Amino acid sequence: MTNYLIKGARPLGGDPVDILLQDGRVAAVGDSLEATGAEVVQAAGLVALPGLVDLHTHLREPGREDAETVETGSRAAALGGFTAVHAMANTDPVADTAGVVEQVWRLGQEAGLVDVVPVGAVTVGLAGERLAELGAMADSAARVRVFSDDGHCVSDPALMRRALEYVKAFDGVVAQHAEEPRLTVGAQMHEGDRSARLGLTGWPAAAEEAIIARDVLLAEHVGARLHVCHVSTAGSVEILRWAKSRGVQVTAEVTPHHLLLTDACAESYDPVFKVNPPLRTDADVEALRAGLADGTIDAVGTDHAPHAVEDKESEWAQARPGMLGLEQALSVVIETMVEPGRLDWAGVADRMSVRPAQIGRLADHGRLIAPGEPANLVLVDPAARAAVDPAALASRSRNSPYAGRELPGRVVATFLRGEATVLDGKATR
Amino acid sequence: MKRHLLEAADLDRDDATLVLDTAAQIDQALAGREVKKLPTLRGRTVVNLFYEDSTRTRISFELAAKRLSADVINFSAKGSSVSKGESLKDTALTLEAMGADGVVVRHSASGAPHRLASWVKGSVVNAGDGTHEHPTQALLDAYTIRQRLGRLDGVRVTIVGDVLHSRVARSNVGLLHTLGAEVTLVAPPTLLPVGVGSWPADVGYDLDAVLPKSDVVMMLRVQAERMNASFFPSAREYSRRYGLDARRMAALPDDAIVMHPGPMNRGMEIAAEVADSVRSTIVEQVANGVSTRMAVLYLLLGGNA
Amino acid sequence: MPRAWPGGGPPRSVPYRRRRSDHSFNDPSSEAGKEASLARSSEPARSTAPGSTPGTLLSAADVARVIDRIAHQLIERAAAAHPGRDGLADLVLVGIPTRGAPLARRLAARVEAFSGATVDVGTVDITLYRDDLRRRGVRALEPTLMPDGGIDDRLVVLVDDVLFSGRSVRAALDALRDLGRPQAVQLAVLVDRGHRELPIRADYVGKNVPTSRAQQVRVHLAETDGVDEVLVTGEAG
């Protein structure tokens, strides 16, 4: 095993120090460290953060390996600075049994670029009718703790209540895709002035907010943990703030694209901007940034959703919703939160690593950079700026909404348990 | 003029006026002639790419192109490679390879013509896309209003019915506003889009209150199936509250006209006696559709090198 | 109160602008001297190219004299063609817009003044018959108006301001063919400046003007330009 001596990095943006990674752990943090045999990584000017943790990734394997595989998605994640990603359950077959979650987990281990943590489906086949064998998935080698029907809402309130209750037995959490399906039949984009003019069926904010309001009340009632996926509206942030003030055990994530883009993107009718929940208004973007800054929103979750070309180069209504996110997530957070001064580097580490790891109950991730801790960390050059070139992405798909957009921040190196998965901005395997 | 006609906003007031003036000159030039054909687009190819059945619109465009001597190819989605799953982009590239100078596209998906326009070099004319726009319908409606009333500036146009799902309404609101008309939308609130407040139009729910102040009443087609999705309780209630019958027509100013883009649901949004009255412009609208579309094709394709 | 329509914009009352600069008077195919066929401009098209001196070819009095002369010729030929009856009854003067149209009306008025007979007038817009649309872009159309009696079996005299390449006349002949079947078609022009590209000649010519291709001949009429005059600009070849 290679040992690494990182010279002059700034942990959480603080003063430059040297960091020695040895045998998968942080061995020492201090000035002018020496280590014979260790590979030196010059990191002057780079910010060191704990390895990023994504609560919301679609790796598409099994079923749509033409769009992404566990391996290609893992590589994209490592290049984005992640050391752990939660792989969503809406694969084909659905990850609703111990067998499927173990298969995904094993594929992640084989790729060895990030820890791939499978998410289990809440209901069989994501059909929203009866609970999947949640306990079996929890007890499997994959040790599933996050359960989600993402892509579909667990809309039946009785079923949602039971799911919330049931996962308490193994400290699990239900991650809800908050979308009242009867209010979003045929929905294509945020319902508002632009949908009215573009003639695209509207996806009302109330369809998300109604479910979140219902679910926080249910979570409070049964004393369970609830996680809300991809919060997209100002109203949702208000409901979450209210729920947290009441002591409800609710956490929430926001996607990079909802922090940056608005429904104005739909004017091009280019389905690369079609996503679920849809891009919202400027006011929503502002509320989401504020919510992430004050901690009402706990985490950034990419909702990395690769799609094959034929599923995106089509009419808007025919296209599948979803955007790539892993490789640009940190850059978008720097652009929208760090550069405007709304989040410092410690805040970035908290929202992109510490809290998501806690929500997912990942003991080895989201730890501070300190002696004895697992050596999961990322080195970022905050001064670098580059335009996004979809052709250069590691993902197998090309549906990046940031194509051609100049974004700040470059992941220079990522370490997973002391092994470099990314060096000099390139994946090591 | 822009290269494509995708939505009413592609036309500023000068462009829109030029289209209407051109249509009028074409009408006049062809009036009473035995040979209703002009050599203008000889050697140009116009493809009618229809993903939705719409015989009347297709025929109108076909006649317009043929009267300008263009070669016309009708490419209907049914029974073609399209129904076998060929994507819009592949179809676009095929048309491009065939050297289509103009593509007239009707599609059930809003924005499909915009996508097409990004893939082909020729001019794209939107012949109706989903619930978005139908700009040539708005042009022919504006032409008809100008022909009947002699002006558009300050004309009070009331559009009644299923605005939410109507591409005709969207195009007419945009174009008529551009041309200086004052548009009022009347519909049950369920059939108005959230966000209609941002449109350059007044909105009301009471047809009887608006009729005496309307120079033009444009009735939109309302599909009875909408009541299954609770947009309104029953066809009867819709008709009673928002249908145009003889009693309501009598409340209109003397020279007001009644329009309908067709096809009509007689007895639903419009009573037969209204549709067949002297105020009705429904037949003129069809005739004007051909000359308006000739004007559009001439202006978009005539100068393309 | 209606609000602004995003992307659309409020009504404006800017007059329609034509691309006056994008066509050359040096191209015979454009039939130099007809630049205002592109414009419903309110301003007289009197500007001249920098560095060239406009020479007045015909003054207002000359224009009037030339029209009178052509009117007399029309009357004489009609009489010669149909001795003993009113040959002018068969005559239709069809102007080619823009400036051919008022010229035709003036000619008709003069013929009526000299002969006492009424003369039918029409206009034929040739834009949709042009063979240079691809090259020069589309333009606004002008009216096509035929007399009530039509043109079948009558003597049509096409009236235009300048005869240059002959392509406008060819387009007008094509248009006439779609409008009826005259007994004969003749051509009257205010100025013939040469450089024909087609086997076409005028039956009535106000003034023959040898020009170089580089020169520009501009006809201004009171109806369209506020003044009667014919100018020639640019270097003689």
CA neighbor of A88 nearest in space, from A305, A326, A376 = A305
Residue B11: closest CA among chain C residues belongs to which residue? C8
pLDDT at B161 over 80: yes
Least CB–CB distance from B177: residue in C2, C138, C146: C2
Residue C133 touches partner B, C-beta closer than 8 Å = yes
What pLDDT is attached to residue C84? Answer: 64
What letter represents residue A260's amino acid?
Answer: L
**Tokens 């063609």, residue located:** C81
In which order are the strands placed within the sheet that holds C216-220?
C55-58, C229-233, C216-220
The residue from A96, A303, A311, A350 that is catalytic is A303
Same domain, B186 and B260: yes
At A208, list the tokens. Answer: 């998300």
Same domain, B66 and B163: no
Least CB–CB distance from A193: residue in B110, B133, B195: B195
pLDDT at A146 over 50: yes
- pLDDT tens for A95-114 read 999 999 999 999 999 999 99
What pLDDT is attached to residue C42? Answer: 39
Decide if C111 is inside a domain: yes
B29: which chain C residues are within 8 Å (Cβ-Cβ)?
Answer: 125, 128, 141, 143-144
Same domain, B177 and B86: no
Helices (H) and strands (E) in chain B — how many of each? 11, 9
Contacting C with CB below 8 Å, chain B residues are: 8-9, 12-14, 17-18, 21-22, 25-26, 28-29, 32-33, 35, 37-40, 68, 153, 173-174, 177-180, 182-183, 198-202, 298-299, 302-305
Decide if C177 is inside a domain: yes
Mutate to test the interface with C, among B6, B33, B292 (most CBs of C within 10 A): B33
Same domain, B126 and B139: no
At C97, list the tokens. Answer: 């817009």
- Measured CA to CA, the distance from residue C132 to residue C115 in angstroms comes to 40
Residue C143 touches partner B, C-beta closer than 8 Å = yes
- pLDDT tens for B181-200 read 999 999 999 999 999 999 99
A264: which chain B residues are within 8 Å (Cβ-Cβ)?
Answer: none
Decide if C24 is inside a domain: no
Residue B182: closest CA among chain C residues belongs to which residue? C2
Cβ of B132 within 8 Å of Cβ of A198? The answer is yes
B130: which chain A residues are within 8 Å (Cβ-Cβ)?
Answer: 199-200, 317
Cβ of B194 within 8 Å of Cβ of A192? The answer is yes
- Measured CA to CA, the distance from residue A341 to residue A63 in angstroms comes to 42
Residue C22 touches partner B, C-beta closer than 8 Å = no
Q: Beta strand pairing status for A189-190 and A202-203?
A: parallel
What pLDDT is attached to residue B84? Answer: 57
Cβ of B33 within 8 Å of Cβ of C179? The answer is yes
Which residues, 6+ apart, have CB-to-CB distance to A381 below 8 Å? A45, A46, A47, A409, A410, A412
Sign of torsion over alpha carbons B218, B53, B47, A308: positive
What pLDDT is attached to residue C12? Answer: 41
What pLDDT is attached to residue A409? Answer: 97
B114: which chain A residues are within 8 Å (Cβ-Cβ)?
Answer: 268-269
Q: Give the closest-approach CA distance of B179 to chain C in angstroms.
A: 6
Decide if C74 is inside a domain: yes
What letter represents residue A379's amino acid?
Answer: L
Same domain, B154 and B277: yes
Same domain, B168 and B181: yes
- Measured CA to CA, the distance from residue A165 to residue A90 in angstroms comes to 22
Cβ of A201 within 8 Å of Cβ of B131? The answer is yes
Cβ of C8 within 8 Å of Cβ of B200? The answer is yes
Q: Beta strand pairing status for B156-160 and B182-186?
A: parallel
Q: Beta strand pairing status for A25-30 and B45-50?
A: unpaired
C147 alpha-carbon distance from chain centroid: 18
Decide if B2 is inside a domain: no
* Domain count across chain B: 2
- pLDDT tens for A384-428 read 999 999 999 999 999 999 999 999 999 999 999 999 999 999 999
- Measured CA to CA, the distance from residue A236 to residue A176 in angstroms comes to 13
Sign of torsion over alpha carbons C103, C105, C109, C112: positive
Residue B67: closest CA among chain C residues belongs to which residue? C128
B108: which chain A residues are within 8 Å (Cβ-Cβ)?
Answer: 317
B18: which chain C residues are within 8 Å (Cβ-Cβ)?
Answer: 16, 140
Cβ of C5 within 8 Å of Cβ of B174? The answer is yes
A273: which chain B residues are within 8 Å (Cβ-Cβ)?
Answer: none
Same domain, B97 and B44: yes
Phi/psi for A214 (5° steps) reads -60, -45
What average pLDDT does this structure show over B84-113? 90
Cβ of A317 within 8 Å of Cβ of B110? The answer is yes
Which residues, 6+ apart, have CB-to-CB distance to A273 below 8 Å? A261, A265, A266, A279, A323, A401
CA neighbor of B88 nearest in space, from A67, A268, A390, A317 = A317
Decide if C234 is inside a domain: no
C11 touches B13 (CB < 8 A): yes
Least CB–CB distance from B110: residue in A200, A270, A310: A200
If one counts every other C-beta atom within 10 angstroms of the C-beta of residue A279, the result is: 26
Residue C18 touches partner B, C-beta closer than 8 Å = no
Same domain, B150 and B277: yes
What pLDDT is attached to residue C53? Answer: 53
| 3-class SS shares of chain C: helix, strand, coil, % to 5 | 30, 20, 50
Residue C128 touches partner B, C-beta closer than 8 Å = yes
CA neighbor of A284 nearest in space, from A310, A257, A316 = A257
* Domain count across chain C: 1
Same domain, B155 and B208: yes
What pLDDT is attached to residue C236? Answer: 72
Tell me whether residue A386 is exposed, middle or buried, using C-beta atoms within 10 angstroms of its C-beta: 0 to 12, 13 to 18, 19 or more: middle
Decide if C147 is inside a domain: yes
pLDDT band at B76 (very low <50, low <70, confident <90, very high): confident
Residue B202: closest CA among chain C residues belongs to which residue? C2
What pLDDT is attached to residue C85? Answer: 63
Length of chain C equals 237
Least CB–CB distance from B130: residue in A199, A204, A313: A199
pLDDT band at B82 (very low <50, low <70, confident <90, very high): low
Cβ of C128 within 8 Å of Cβ of B40? The answer is yes
Decide if B1 is inside a domain: no
What pLDDT is attached to residue B85? Answer: 66
Decide if C32 is inside a domain: no
What pLDDT is attached to residue C10? Answer: 42
Encode chain A in three state secondary structure: CCCEEEEEEEECCCCCEEEEEECCEEEEEECCCCCCCCEEEECCCCEEEECEEEEEECCCCCCCCCCCCHHHHHHHHHHCCEEEEEECCCCCCCCCCHHHHHHHHHHHHHHCCCEEEECECCEHHHCCCCECCHHHHHHCCCCCCEECCCCCCCCCHHHHHHHHHHHHHHCCEEEECCCCHHHCCCCCEECCHHHHHHCCCEECHHHHHHHHHHHHHHHHHHCCCEEECCCCCHHHHHHHHHHHHCCCCEEEEECHHHHHCCHHHHHHCCHHHCCCCCCCCHHHHHHHHHHHHHCCCCEECCCECCCCHHHHCCCCCCCCCCECCCCCHHHHHHHHHHCCCCCCHHHHHHHHHHHHHHHCCCCCCCCCCCCCCECCEEEEEEEEEEEECHHHCCCCCCCCCCECCEEEEEEEEEEECCEEEEECCEECC
A198: which chain B residues are within 8 Å (Cβ-Cβ)?
Answer: 110-111, 132
B28: which chain C residues are within 8 Å (Cβ-Cβ)?
Answer: 143-145
Decide if C4 is inside a domain: no
Cβ of C5 within 8 Å of Cβ of B177? The answer is yes
Least CB–CB distance from B88: residue in A191, A192, A315: A315
Q: Give the closest-approach CA distance of C99 to chain B in angstroms.
A: 17
Cβ of C178 within 8 Å of Cβ of B37? The answer is yes
What average pLDDT does this structure show over B236-248? 95
Cβ of C3 within 8 Å of Cβ of B183? The answer is no
Alpha helices for C116-219 (secondary structure H): 133-136, 167-179
For chain A, list the domains and their CATH numbers: 4-47+373-427 (2.30.40.10), 51-359 (3.20.20.140)
pLDDT at A335 over 90: yes
- pLDDT tens for B199-234 read 999 999 999 999 999 999 999 999 877 777 889 999
- pLDDT tens for A234-265 read 999 999 999 999 999 999 999 999 999 999 99
B178: which chain C residues are within 8 Å (Cβ-Cβ)?
Answer: 5, 8-9, 11
Same domain, B89 and B139: no
Least CB–CB distance from B111: residue in A191, A198, A202: A198
pLDDT band at B61 (very low <50, low <70, confident <90, very high): very high
Decide if B184 is inside a domain: yes
Which CATH number goes with the domain that contains B93? 3.40.50.1370
pLDDT at B116 over 50: yes
Q: Which of A167-176, B77-86, B258-267 has the lowest mean pLDDT?
A: B77-86
Cβ of B199 within 8 Å of Cβ of A197? The answer is yes
Residue B49 lies in domain: 8-133+286-301
A342 touches A293 (CB < 8 A): yes
Mutate to test the interface with B, among C141, C142, C170 (most CBs of B within 10 A): C141
- Measured CA to CA, the distance from residue C190 to residue C67 in angstroms comes to 8
Q: Is A303 a catalytic residue?
A: yes
Least CB–CB distance from B87: residue in A196, A314, A317: A314
Which CATH number goes with the domain that contains C86? 3.40.50.2020
Q: Beta strand pairing status for C216-220 and B123-129?
A: unpaired
Residue B5 is given by DSSP the state B
Q: Beta strand pairing status for A17-22 and A25-30?
A: antiparallel
The neighbours of chain A, by the rule of 3 or more Cβ pairs under 8 Å, are: B
B–C interface: beta-carbon pairs under 8 A = 96
In which order are the strands placed within the sheet that holds B102-107?
B71-76, B45-50, B102-107, B123-129
Least CB–CB distance from C16: residue in B17, B26, B40: B17
What pLDDT is attached to residue C5? Answer: 53
What average pLDDT does this structure show over B99-124? 95
What letter represents residue A413's amino acid?
Answer: A
E strand or H helix at B295: helix B282-301
Residue C162 lies in domain: 61-131+138-210
Decide if B248 is inside a domain: yes
Burial A145-160 (b: 16+ CB within 10 A, else e): bbbbbbbbbbbeeebb
Residue C145 touches partner B, C-beta closer than 8 Å = yes
The stretches in chain C having pLDDT less than 70 are 1-53, 84-85, 237
Same domain, B102 and B82: yes
Which residues, 6+ apart, have CB-to-CB distance to C85 below 8 Å? none
Same domain, B52 and B22: yes
Least CB–CB distance from A315: residue in B107, B167, B195: B107
Quote ipTM for the complex: 0.94
A208 touches A178 (CB < 8 A): yes
Decide if B3 is inside a domain: no
Residue B1 touches partner A, C-beta closer than 8 Å = no
- Measured CA to CA, the distance from residue A294 to residue A288 in angstroms comes to 10
